[in-house]
Structures are given as C-alpha cells and as structure tokens.
C-alpha cells in the first residue's frame, strides 16, 4: 500500500509542477483555505478508492465510487478561478481519468473490437463495422471513423464486453477517440496515442499470424484468396509500425520479418 501512496503522491506532485497557467490570478486567503482544507482532502478519498480496488480487478462498485468521489472533488474546485486551485484541478482531472491500462478487461475489450473491425468483411455482424475504417492507418480517416461511428463502437462494446467496459468507454469516448487518432507529435513513447497504437499493431500482428496459419497448401501453391489476405495483412502491419521509433525495441519488427518473410511476403 505504501508504494501505491508514494506513486500517487509523486504523480500528483509532477502534475502540479508541470501545469501552471500564468494568466490566472493568485488565490485569495479564503480561496486558499478552501482548496487546502476542503477540496484537497477529497483527492485522498480518490487515492483510497484506487488502493481499495487495486488488487481485486474491475468491479462496478469501483466505477461508481471513483466517479462519485471525482465529481464531488471537481465541484469543490469549480468555483475557484485562481492560479493554485487551477493547478490542483488539472492534477485531479488526470487522476480521475484513469487510463485504459488500469484494468485489463477494458484493454481486452478494445483489442477485441480492433480484431472485429479488421475482420469485418468476413463477419456476419455487426454490419456497421464495414461502414467505418476503424483500423485505417491514416489518422485523419481513423478519427472520422471513430467520430461518426460512435454508435457502432458502443454497440459492439455493449454486446461483447462487460458492463464495466461499457461504462468506461461511454464516459470517456471522446478522450478515447483523441488517443486513438491524434498523434501529439512528441518524443514520448508513453503517450496514450502510443499505447493505443501498440494495441492496434499487436492486433494486426496476431491477425497476420492467424491468416498465415490458416492458409492451405494449394492456396500457398497457386496464390488464392487466402494468400491475398496474408499479403494484405503483412502490408497493414508493416504500415502500422512504419517510421515509428517507439517500435525499435519491440519484438514486433522481428516477428513481422519472421512471419511475412517465411510466408514469402
């Protein structure tokens, strides 16, 4: 537990030190007292909730408790339009917007969607997956797909993932869209965009391997539809990691070379 408390405190301190809007006035004495004595203690409630559920997996109670605690804390900071309070609020926003890696089921749900979207032409449903290029490597087209195809994404999550995942994605969909489709162009392999990209590329790699294994002898010999599918998969996974230094230390480039090289692609 001590490690979790120290990590949370470090995160909060880092977030505060990196966010300092210069255009806001300094807090008055009363505003400072409210921030320190009323609002700031609420963040420790959030810390306790995260610690409480850290080893028990995702549960509906976690989402309900964390959302309620975050809403109360945000309402407390909302009237405080001053420098120090704003810095606390920025850190609070980041603490409450727990990322997709916090619980595996949300990550697995998204990767399951990636796989379904990529295999949409061969799936009987949902038909809307064919309408939107969710797995497009071009970020602009991918952004449009997730923006216009929200109902399709959420319908898939509702029917194929847990209640927890549906709750998570429905409340954070806009931020998920940004993370999936807008490259911040910063020299940082730990951004949410890179996290999403790695998941997408891993799914493409798995699909490539699956298609190679499923290719029959005569299809390999005469270049049938299965061979075309393998060729397309190899192109897609290579394009997914092309020119991205964040994959230089990953096993993906080596795996691609082995799979597609042995498959003659």
Q: Which of 48, 51, 58 is nearest to 166 (CA)?
A: 58
pLDDT at 17: 42
Contact 73, 15 (CB under 8 A): no
Among 96, 117, 133, where does a domain finish? 96
87/143 same-domain check: no
Q: Hey, is 1 helix, strand or coil? A: coil
Mean of the pLDDT values across residues 242-252? 83
158 and 192 share one domain = yes
**Domain boundary at 45, 67, 96, which?**
96
Residue range 53-68, pLDDT digits in tens: 766 555 667 777 888 8
How many domains does the chain contain in total?
2
Predicted pLDDT of residue 116: 95
Q: Let me know whether 140 and 236 are in one domain.
A: yes
pLDDT of 6 > 60? The answer is no
Contact 62, 49 (CB under 8 A): yes
Per-residue pLDDT band for 114 (boundaries 50, 70, 90) equals very high
- Please give the average per-residue pLDDT across 217-240, as a whole number: 74
85 and 151, same domain (yes or no): no
Query: How much is the pLDDT for 153?
Result: 97
Q: Point out the domain boundary residue: 76, 96, 116.
A: 96
pLDDT at 258: 86
- Asked if pLDDT for residue 155 goes beyond 90, the answer is yes
Cis amide linkage into residue 126, ω under 30° from 0: yes
* 123, two tokens: 């799936």
Residue 177 has pLDDT above 90, yes or no: yes
- My answer on whether 109 and 35 are in the same domain is no
CA separation for the pair 189, 259 (Å, rounded)? 25
Q: Do 172 and 237 lie in a common domain?
A: yes
- Integer Cα distance of 188 and 153 in angstroms: 28
- Tell me the pTM: 0.70
What's the pLDDT at 18?
42
Compute the distance between CA of residue 265 and CA of residue 220 in angstroms, rounded to an integer: 12
Q: Is the pLDDT reported for residue 259 higher than 80?
A: yes
Distance in angstroms (rounded) separating the CA atoms of residues 235 and 251: 17
**Domain span including residue 253:** 104-262
pLDDT at 172 over 90: no
For residues 46 and 38, is the Cβ–Cβ distance under 8 A?
no
The secondary structure element, H or E, covering residue 134 is none
Instruction: Give pLDDT tens digits for 137-147.
Output: 899 999 999 99
Give 40's pLDDT tier (boundaries 50, 70, 90).
confident
Quick one: 222 and 185 in the same domain? yes
pLDDT surpassing 50 at residue 1: no
For residue 248, give the H/E element and its range.
none
Burial grade of 37 (CB within 10 A; 0-12, 13-18, 19 or more) = exposed
Residues 76 and 195 in one domain: no
């Amino acid at each position: 537990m001590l490690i979790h408390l120290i990590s949370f405190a470090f995160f909060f301190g880092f977030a505060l030190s990196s966010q300092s809007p210069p255009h806001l006035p300094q807090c008055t004495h009363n505003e400072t007292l409210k921030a320190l004595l009323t609002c700031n203690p609420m963040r420790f409630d959030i810390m306790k909730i995260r610690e409480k559920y850290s080893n028990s997996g995702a549960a509906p109670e976690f989402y309900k408790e964390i959302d309620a605690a975050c809403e109360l804390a945000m309402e407390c900071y909302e009237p405080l339009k001053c420098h120090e309070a704003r810095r606390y609020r920025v850190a609070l926003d980041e603490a409450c917007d727990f990322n997709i890696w916090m619980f595996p089921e949300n990550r697995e749900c998204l990767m399951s969607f990636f796989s379904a979207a990529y295999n949409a032409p061969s799936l009987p449903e949902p038909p809307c997956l064919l309408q939107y290029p969710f797995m497009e490597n071009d970020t602009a087209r991918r952004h449009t797909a997730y923006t216009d195809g929200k109902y399709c994404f959420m319908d898939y999550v509702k029917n194929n993932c847990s209640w927890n995942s549906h709750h998570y994605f429905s409340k954070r969909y806009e931020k998920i869209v940004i993370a999936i489709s807008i490259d911040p162009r910063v020299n940082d392999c730990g951004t949410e965009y890179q996290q999403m990209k790695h998941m997408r590329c891993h799914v493409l790699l798995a699909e490539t391997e699956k298609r190679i294994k499923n290719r029959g002898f005569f299809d390999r010999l005469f270049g049938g539809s299965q061979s075309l599918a393998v060729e397309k998969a190899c192109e897609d996974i290579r394009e997914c990691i092309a020119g991205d230094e964040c994959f230089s230390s990953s096993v993906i480039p080596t795996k691609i070379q082995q799979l597609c090289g042995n498959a003659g692609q």
